[in-house]
Structure 1
Amino acid sequence: MIAGMSLSIEAAIGGALGEHVGELESTYYIFIIGAMATFLVTLFFGKGDLRQILTVPKWNLTGGLLGVVYLALLVISVTLMGVGVSVTAVIVGQIIMSILIEHFGLLGSPRIAFNRNRLIAVVLLMISFVLVL
């Protein structure tokens, strides 16, 4: 829930910044500040081994690119439609893609079959999106 709340705050801040400096520039700034903050947290609290990044399958490294696509589209959509509609659309998209990934066991995820409850959840989320419009 905290991540979701942070996302909405980030969307509002990014949208406001995007109106002043441009959407892509806002996205760039947010990533630079995020990278610096993550570097400091990793420096002091990280317990992993970044050298292992050279040994993982290359598709594992696409998350950064997808993060840029996500954030840029979020900042652009907030300036066009507002935070509520944009974040609701993001949540609906996340749930639909998550269900597809799990149903087919994609990207190393365990297979979880699509069922009636998941269908109901998607329909209700789509209704919530329409209501937020």
Structure 2
Amino acid sequence: MDEIKFILDNIWILIATTLVFFMQAGFAMVETGFTRAKNAGNIIMKNLMDFAIGSIMFWVIGYGLMYGKSIGGLIGTPDLLFLNNTDYTALIFQTVFCATAATIVSGAMAERTKFIS
């Protein structure tokens, strides 16, 4: 029975991960819709790079800070590339959430910067 609970919990988390991942595309479309057509490419590339670079940086630094164990227990220690953790379902869910949050913030820069900058 514990195995079935574990499997169902992981399936639910992966479904939620998929929904949050599609929020990323939704925010990109909202930002593109609120800007002029000439900036659409900049917005889409900025959102793609938010996800790509944000995911890598979260794997390297963020996840270890969230779930790592420190001496005092106040903050986690950076586990380079989450080497001491095997909960990959939580890793994927938190990664997608982190990248989507970065995309929300990038909407404030829409039409104010170019992708090259």
Shorter-chain TM-score tier: 0.3 to 0.5
Normalised by the size of structure 2, how large is the TM-score?
0.35
Tell which has more relative contact order, 1 or 2 (C-alpha 8 A, sep 6+).
Answer: 2
